Structure 1
Amino acid sequence: MAPPLGYDDHTSGYERRHTRRSVLAGLAAAGALGAAGCTRVATAAGTNGGELLDRLRGQGVVRLGIAGEIPFGYIDKNGQLTGEAPELARVIFKRLGVDRVQPVPTEFGSLIPGLNSQQFDVVAAGMYVNAERCKQVIFADPDYQMLDSFIVRKGNPKGLHNYKDCVEKKAKFATGTGYAEIQYAVDAGYKQSDILIVPDQVAGLNAVEAGRVDVFAGTALTTREVVKKSAKAEATKPFAPLVDGKPHVDGGAFAFRPTETRLRDAFNVELRKLKKSGELFRILRPFGFTKAEMTDLTAKELCGE
């Protein structure tokens, strides 16, 4: 999924990612039975990297913390859970001896608290890896990397290609609830009070088409997907936002409780195999990911260690 302000989210100090929109309602319906009918998992042992992997193998099911967002995790037209994170989870956990995945829907900002209070076993929401989140959870290595992009009116009449352009041209600026793009815009010179916060990229597209704003900032993936059927708007070329004056590439990954290093490490082993074989790209490609978004970034790098 991308990410938010506030220490915790999709914010980074850049907790980002895209709000979990109305799709959450459908996801909640699909997961309601399991979520409501299950008690919280038992506390993991603090030694030997945790016991969760063994418990999951015994149960045959892993509970995924999901924040309904296309293309990261959502309900399709047939009422089935899908998205890049659930589909990747199915493959990797199957290889780890866990046959089923079960969604536990929540708001994006509740993913880390929900994970650490054991409401589910793993965060599977395309969550960006950053230093603040790394203080609260442990991440697998990223399964994708992501640049930013803007939704602008057809022809990009104001010539907006990065955050500096937006500030210099005094563009009316919008982004999503909890998106990392809020902080990127503030760092570029916007006052946070001057940024229009909308629920998600669909609302951002609507705001641009209606002329309420000049630009909506989001991830390259979500912006290019949402404008496909628009006759009034387009997505700009992807670019790297500046963090501390340097171009920054975000990476999204699965998150685990700090005690569960054994499960995280086993997950990483299988993820690396999928990357090496090219199967990871085949899994993510149907959800709009390109080869440019495949990555060798590590969680250690993005955590700033």
Structure 2
Amino acid sequence: MAGLAACSRVEDGGGEGGPSILERLREQGFVAVGLANEIPFGFIDDSGEPAGQSPAVAAAVFEELGVPEIQASPVAWDGLIPGLRSNRFDVIAAGMFITPERCEQVAFSEPTATSPEAFLVEEGNPNDITHFTTFAENPDLRLAVLNGSVEQTYAEYFGIPEDQLNLIPDQTTGYELLESGRVDAMSMLSVSHTYLLRERGGPFEVTEAFFPEIDGTEERGWGGLALRQEDTELLEEINRVIAEFKESGRLLELGQEWGFTEADLPDDTTTAELCEG
């Protein structure tokens, strides 16, 4: 994995008889990926390199496909899909959850990881924050969530008023809001909080992890790589390699550095099922 990408990606070729996107990526020697600086799913490390579980998977997959390098563009979470669709990059490598709404805009690979929800809170959890309903029941509490994230959807579903939500562009902003006391918790996946706390420290703790239940069904979200919907041949090749990695144990190896365990690996749930909802 290497380097921040330039602001624009290679011109689309294609058309009748034109080179495929994979052929063009092989020729240029790198694939441009978008990420949102969410530790440990996808972020830029202190040396300016793309890091995290999703970029690691992307780098390994594309290396297998003959593309030796990934170059990353960090953007706000709600800018990932627009950035992909406007050709700013070729792949989203941010651990983005596969949802029916997103499937209408982009094409997802088969799942590569999951993680339950949790909150990052003040040490000792003085406000006894355990669920999104805690905020709906206490109007004095404020919650930071990524703008456009599944956590924002959960917050709205469980009735948290808008004036109690602080919509943030990235994880670092949420941490700083919590540190300054401007919010009482930040909502993200449990593994994200755990890794961030390990890296940055602070008088905080991660609450007990859970999968929200909506309409009687446990919402166990699955993340994957995302591509433009027209890049069907590339998607097929990516899914082929992901299946091989899952079978060989490589998928687990790629995530272990970032705190992912066997419990976070994909089960038999397919992207088609997730897109249907």
TM-score, length of structure 2 as denominator length: 0.86
Q: Provide closer, same or farther for how the CA distance between residues 46 and 238 of structure 1 changes in structure 2, counting only shifts above 3 A.
A: farther
Match of 1:144 in 2: 113
Aligned length: 272
Match of 1:172 in 2: 141
Q: CA deviation at 1:170?
A: 4.3
Q: Provide closer, same or farther for how the CA distance between residues 276 and 95 of structure 1 changes in structure 2, counting only shifts above 3 A.
A: same
What is the percent sequence identity of the aligned residues? 34
Match of 2:224 in 1: 253
Rounded to whole Å, the distance in 2 between the matches of 1:282 and 1:170 is 43
Match of 2:274 in 1: 302
Rounded to whole Å, the distance in 1 between the matches of 2:30 and 2:125 is 48
After superposition, residues 1-305 of structure 1 pair within 5 angstroms as 30-31=3-4, 34-36=5-7, 40-45=10-15, 51-170=20-139, 172-178=141-147, 179-228=149-198, 230=201, 232-296=203-267, 297-304=269-276
Contact conserved, 1:84 with 1:283, CA < 8 A, in 2?
A: yes
Q: Provide closer, same or farther for how the CA distance between residues 78 and 213 of structure 1 changes in structure 2, counting only shifts above 3 A.
A: closer
Unpaired runs of 5+ in structure 1? Answer: 1-28
Describe the SS at the equivalent of 1:151. Answer: strand
AA partner of residue 106 (structure 1): V
Q: Provide closer, same or farther for how the CA distance between residues 165 and 271 of structure 1 changes in structure 2, counting only shifts above 3 A.
A: same
Describe the SS at the equivalent of 1:126. Answer: coil
Rounded to whole Å, the distance in 1 between the matches of 2:49 and 2:182 is 35
Q: Cα deviations across residues 183-231 of structure 1 (Å, max 9, x unaligned)? A: 2122112112222334544444444455444332221112222334645
AA partner of residue 165 (structure 2): I
Rounded to whole Å, the distance in 2 between the matches of 1:298 and 1:89 is 19
Q: Provide closer, same or farther for how the CA distance between residues 71 and 94 of structure 1 changes in structure 2, counting only shifts above 3 A.
A: same
Describe the SS at the equivalent of 2:225. Answer: strand
Indicate the RMSD between aligned Cα atoms, in angstroms: 2.7
Rounded to whole Å, the distance in 2 between the matches of 1:64 and 1:197 is 24
TM-score, length of structure 1 as denominator length: 0.79
Describe the SS at the equivalent of 2:244. Answer: helix
Bigger shift: residues 133-142 or 71-80: 71-80
Describe the SS at the equivalent of 1:128. Answer: coil
Q: Provide closer, same or farther for how the CA distance between residues 137 and 203 of structure 1 changes in structure 2, counting only shifts above 3 A.
A: closer
Bigger shift: residues 265-274 or 209-218: 209-218
Contact conserved, 1:150 with 1:216, CA < 8 A, in 2?
A: yes
